[in-house]
Chain A
Amino acid sequence: MLNPACKRLLGALVPTLAFLAPVTAQPADAGPTLEAVKARGTLVCAVNGSRPGFSVVDSKGEWTGLEVDVCRAIAAAVLGDSSKTQFVKTTTQTRLTVLQTGEVDVTVSNVTWTYGRDADLGLDFVTPTFYDGQGFLVPRKLGVKSVKDLDGASICVRPGSTSERIIADVQAKYRIKITLVVIEDQKELNTAFFGGRCDSFVQTTSGLSAIRAAVAPNPDDYVILPEIFGKDPMGPVVRQGDPQWRDIVQWIVFALFEAEERGVTSANVDQMRESKEAETQRLLGVGTGATGKGLGLDPQWAYRAIKQVGNYAEIYDRSLGDGSKLKLGRGINAQWTNGGLLYAPPF
């Protein structure tokens, strides 16, 4: 990595710079991210820090949310302890820069995966952990179960937004008639909807659930319809040029998906190790076929992640689902077997 002259210079400078180095100075030949993480003993994740359900700090100063739990799962798999994490709060402006400059090991700040970001920025996107998109919020008492039932409804939208376009698409697709109530201001929009001025309103599902939790007089009286429109795939991002680390993050996410599909939870993971199914055995690092060598990890990496953090369903439930304030349904974030988009390649 460094040419010999630089190494010599470095050798001379290390003593002078030693007072700047942290207590946990690492071996000099640490190369790829995995080595650096192991040497440091903690995993550094960039999170958004102000997105309810994804990453926030609760009143006791604890980090919670989907992004946070993905980071903890990686720490559990790589370091053996889900608490060996450091969260760096970033903004949309800095979340990728901290990754590029090497301050963090992985950005779990739910960045939308786009062609431009993936191709131009020297970054690699791994499999999405959350598919966001625009959704519909309706009062429960209307008894609406699907967007198809919205014939004749009046819907609040913001002018010029993607929501307007989506409603046009929905009308054409399901051959239904919808009256638009265009309101520019978000606060007024909220007031209009919860005051009964319109029957439904359209926004990103994660945004809708946050509004429901914060603004609705009684959040239980409102539901978000299962259909989601528009594409907003969000997942962890790693630096380019370290394929091993990319695989590690990728397969930890897959392991969380796979565990849900096979019914392995943090509660029953120890029993499931007795399972006779070959794929469950491989997932949990049991038997002869199990190995983590390809990832540079021991065979029990996925077992630890599931044991300490839980499978995807558990994470989702306590962050965004019924176990949280947001009460966001799984929608397209369900397993492929349930008509969702979560699909882990076979283990």
Chain B
Amino acid sequence: MTGRTPPWRSAGVRATAYQLAVVAVLIGVAAWMTDTARHAMQERGIASGFDFLLDRAGFAIGHAFFAFSPDESYLRAFVVGVGNTLVVAAASLVAASLLGLAVGLARLSGNWLLARIAGLYVELFRNTPMLVQIVFWYTLCTLMPAPRQAWSLFDLAFASNRGLLLPWPERAGVFAVAGCLVVLGAGLVPPLYRWVDRLRRRGRRPRAVGGLALAALLAPAVLWWAAAGFPTAWSVPRLRGFNFAGGLALSPEFLALFLGLSCYIAAFVAEIVRAGILSVGRGQIEAAETIGLARGDLYRKVVFPQAMRVIVPPLAAQYISLVKNSSLGVAIGYPDLFSVTNTVLTLSGNTIEAIAIMALVYLTLALAIGFLADLANRAVRIRER
């Protein structure tokens, strides 16, 4: 046996032993904690299991984009909560991207005043906690005038302490589906271009490619709209008695959360956009300027394609952070997933199950965004030829 390394000195054996020890300790702690919780729950009569999901919820959800009555189940309450989270997150995501892009470009503008104001915006909103901003927006929303003294825009839209009222298509469902179809149509555009490229390689000269692309983009949506009978009626909010009727009502809670999320994330998006554009070599821009590229084309053809590679990964991180931070709605009473979960667990007593459902939904959302970001990353990657 002499001359051989004893097993306890071998690196491989030791590594395995370490890992087994770690796993054993973890399993031990987990088992002990689960056991403690089981005993505590038995002793205190805390409910367990997922049966409660089908029980009557018995609570109302204040601001719901989706109708909910206390007679419906806890499961449905979760669905409404997820829906509210998705609505506020999607709206803020679009707003934050547009605002961030605008501020980022403004910061790079040659106009001193504009660049300074954009810089001030970024410093103010990036260097204060989002929660303070949300609470502050909420305070401002509640300080608005009462409905009868509401601020109005051409009597079409109104802002009051009851929130914001906007005109809205009467058959909003048709337009929602049409919107989805536009996204679907957008999926048709790249194959179209690939086909055009193939034609060109064969020496043909297809004409009106832009028009064709636009048609592909809009055709499914327009067809759907036609099939629905060209609905054009708009519902406009009107003051009836003491409150408004008609139109789309956005509650102060939604507005505050929306503004808080959008303005905060937009400051970060602006910095990401700026860093992305600055990452494009000065030489590239000078070269483009030398051949006399118009400003718009310079951005479209030279700057953005290269900047996107730097922009996409951190942007995805910001989007995930936005979705997760929509949970701050609980501080001002917006019934998002987190808030609904809290209500459900205090009413049903099924604490652990409710938390598990919430965690699963947030993880799924984060993974989904990560997956989409991965696709986007692949699309903007430098293709080596």
The answer, yes or no, to whether A146 is at the interface (CB within 8 Å) is no
The answer, yes or no, to whether B18 is at the interface (CB within 8 Å) is no
The answer, yes or no, to whether B346 is at the interface (CB within 8 Å) is yes
> Are the C-beta atoms of B147 and A96 separated by less than 8 Å?
no
Q: How far is the CB of A197 from chain B (nearest CB, A)?
A: 12
Partner of B28, one of A9, A95, A185: A9
Give the residues from 56 to 82 in chain A that come closer than 8 angstroms, CB to CB, to chain B.
none
The answer, yes or no, to whether B351 is at the interface (CB within 8 Å) is yes
The answer, yes or no, to whether A50 is at the interface (CB within 8 Å) is no
> Are the C-beta atoms of B39 and A93 separated by less than 8 Å?
no
| A239-B29 Cα distance, complex, nearest whole Å | 26
- Residue of B with least CB distance to A100: B46
Contact with A along B83-112 (1 / 0, CB 8 A): 000000000000000000000000000000
Residues of A contacting B36 in the complex (Cβ-Cβ under 8 angstroms) = 2, 6
Residues of A contacting B148 in the complex (Cβ-Cβ under 8 angstroms) = 188
Partner of A185, one of B35, B162, B345: B162
> Are the C-beta atoms of B146 and A100 separated by less than 8 Å?
no
Partner of A95, one of B39, B47, B339, B346: B346
Q: How far is the CB of B110 from chain A (nearest CB, A)?
A: 47
| A172-B29 Cα distance, complex, nearest whole Å | 65
Partner of A240, one of B28, B39, B44, B146: B44
Residues of B contacting A9 in the complex (Cβ-Cβ under 8 angstroms) = 28, 31-32
> Are the C-beta atoms of B40 and A102 separated by less than 8 Å?
yes
Which of A10, A13, A93, A240 has most B Cβ within 10 Å?
Answer: A93
> Are the C-beta atoms of B32 and A13 separated by less than 8 Å?
yes
The answer, yes or no, to whether B161 is at the interface (CB within 8 Å) is yes
> Are the C-beta atoms of B146 and A188 separated by less than 8 Å?
yes
Residues of A contacting B339 in the complex (Cβ-Cβ under 8 angstroms) = 93
Partner of A97, one of B162, B242, B351: B351
Contact with B along A275-319 (1 / 0, CB 8 A): 000000000000000000000000000000000000000000000
The answer, yes or no, to whether A183 is at the interface (CB within 8 Å) is yes
| A1-B146 Cα distance, complex, nearest whole Å | 58
| A250-B183 Cα distance, complex, nearest whole Å | 63
The answer, yes or no, to whether A182 is at the interface (CB within 8 Å) is yes
> Are the C-beta atoms of A93 and B342 separated by less than 8 Å?
yes
Partner of B43, one of A93, A95, A116, A241: A241
Residues of A contacting B32 in the complex (Cβ-Cβ under 8 angstroms) = 6, 9-10, 13
> Are the C-beta atoms of B342 and A185 separated by less than 8 Å?
no
The answer, yes or no, to whether A148 is at the interface (CB within 8 Å) is no
Give the residues from 152 to 204 in chain B that come closer than 8 angstroms, CB to CB, to chain A.
161-162
Give the residues from 8 to 34 in chain B that come closer than 8 angstroms, CB to CB, to chain A.
28-29, 31-32
Contact with A along B60-71 (1 / 0, CB 8 A): 000000000000
| A183-B148 Cα distance, complex, nearest whole Å | 11
Q: A2-B39, A13-B28, A102-B40 are in contact. Are A122 and B47 (CB under 8 A)?
A: yes
The answer, yes or no, to whether B343 is at the interface (CB within 8 Å) is yes
> Are the C-beta atoms of B29 and A13 separated by less than 8 Å?
yes
| A122-B350 Cα distance, complex, nearest whole Å | 11
- Residue of B with least CB distance to A12: B28
The answer, yes or no, to whether B364 is at the interface (CB within 8 Å) is no
Count how many chain B residues have C-beta atoms less than 8 Å from C-beta atoms of the other chain.
31
The answer, yes or no, to whether A101 is at the interface (CB within 8 Å) is yes
> Are the C-beta atoms of A2 and B35 separated by less than 8 Å?
yes
Q: How far is the CB of B141 from chain A (nearest CB, A)?
A: 13
| A102-B241 Cα distance, complex, nearest whole Å | 49
> Are the C-beta atoms of A185 and B349 separated by less than 8 Å?
no
The answer, yes or no, to whether A38 is at the interface (CB within 8 Å) is no
Residues of B contacting A120 in the complex (Cβ-Cβ under 8 angstroms) = 47, 348-349
Contact with A along B39-53 (1 / 0, CB 8 A): 110011111000000
Residues of B contacting A91 in the complex (Cβ-Cβ under 8 angstroms) = 342
> Are the C-beta atoms of A116 and B58 separated by less than 8 Å?
yes
The answer, yes or no, to whether A244 is at the interface (CB within 8 Å) is no
Give the residues from 234 to 286 in chain A that come closer than 8 angstroms, CB to CB, to chain B.
239-241
The answer, yes or no, to whether A179 is at the interface (CB within 8 Å) is no
> Are the C-beta atoms of B161 and A187 separated by less than 8 Å?
yes
Partner of A184, one of B28, B31, B243, B342: B243
Contact with B along A81-119 (1 / 0, CB 8 A): 000000000011111110011100000000000001000
Q: How far is the CB of A210 from chain B (nearest CB, A)?
A: 16
> Are the C-beta atoms of A122 and B46 separated by less than 8 Å?
yes
Q: How far is the CB of A114 from chain B (nearest CB, A)?
A: 10
Q: A13-B32, A94-B342 are in contact. Are A185 and B147 (CB under 8 A)?
A: yes
Which of B44, B148, B162, B241 has most A Cβ within 10 Å?
Answer: B44
Residues of B contacting A93 in the complex (Cβ-Cβ under 8 angstroms) = 330, 339, 342-343, 346
Q: How far is the CB of B350 from chain A (nearest CB, A)?
A: 10
> Are the C-beta atoms of A122 and B162 separated by less than 8 Å?
no
| A240-B29 Cα distance, complex, nearest whole Å | 27
> Are the C-beta atoms of B44 and A187 separated by less than 8 Å?
no
Q: How far is the CB of B249 from chain A (nearest CB, A)?
A: 13
Q: List 16 A-B contacts (CB under 8 A).
A: A2-B36, A3-B35, A10-B32, A93-B330, A93-B343, A97-B342, A97-B346, A122-B44, A122-B47, A159-B242, A185-B161, A185-B242, A240-B44, A241-B43, A241-B44, A241-B45
Given contacts A100-B349, A185-B162, 4 further A-B contacts (CB under 8 A): A93-B330, A100-B351, A187-B146, A188-B242
Identify the 9 closest CB pairs spanning chains A and B, nearest first.
A122-B45, A93-B342, A184-B242, A188-B146, A240-B45, A121-B349, A239-B44, A122-B44, A184-B243
The chain B residues found within 8 Å of chain A, CB to CB, are 28-29, 31-32, 35-36, 39-40, 43-47, 58, 146-148, 161-162, 241-243, 330, 339, 342-343, 345-346, 348-349, 351
